[in-house]
Amino acid sequence: MIESTSAHYSSKIKILSELWLGYREDEQFGDFVEYNDIGLPLAYMLDNDIVKSTPMAERFINETYDLLITALGLVDDKTYESVDDMLDDYESTQESE
C-alpha cells in the first residue's frame, strides 16, 4: 500500500470528510452525496485513520474532489483548507453573478 503525504491530498480528504459529516442530509447536496457514495465515506475513514490510503483510494478521493469543484463552479487553482472555505467562495461567485 502507498500512503500519499501530499498536503493537497490531505486537504481534499479533510474537506470531503467534513462535507460527508456536515452536509450528507442537506438537500442541496443530495445528488452529489448519492453519486459519491464511496468517495465521501472513504474520505471520512481516511481522515479518521480507520483505513490507509492506496492508489485506488487516492483515485476515488481525487475524482470526488474534482466533482465537488465542478459542482460548485470553482476553479481548482486554490488549495482549500475546509469545506467552509469552498462554500464561501461558492457563495461569493453566486453573489457576483
Q: Report how far residue 39's alpha carbon sits from residue 33's, in angstroms, rounded to the nearest whole number.
A: 9
Q: Would you give per-residue pLDDT tens digits along the chain (97 residues)?
A: 344 446 699 999 999 999 999 999 999 999 999 999 999 999 999 999 999 999 999 999 999 999 999 999 997 667 788 999 999 999 888 877 6
Q: What is the pLDDT of residue 7?
A: 65
Q: What is the pLDDT of residue 5?
A: 44
Strands in the chain per DSSP E: none
Q: What is the pLDDT of residue 14?
A: 96
pTM (two decimals): 0.87
61: which residues sit within 8 A by CB, 6+ positions away? 9, 12, 13, 16, 39, 42, 43, 46, 53
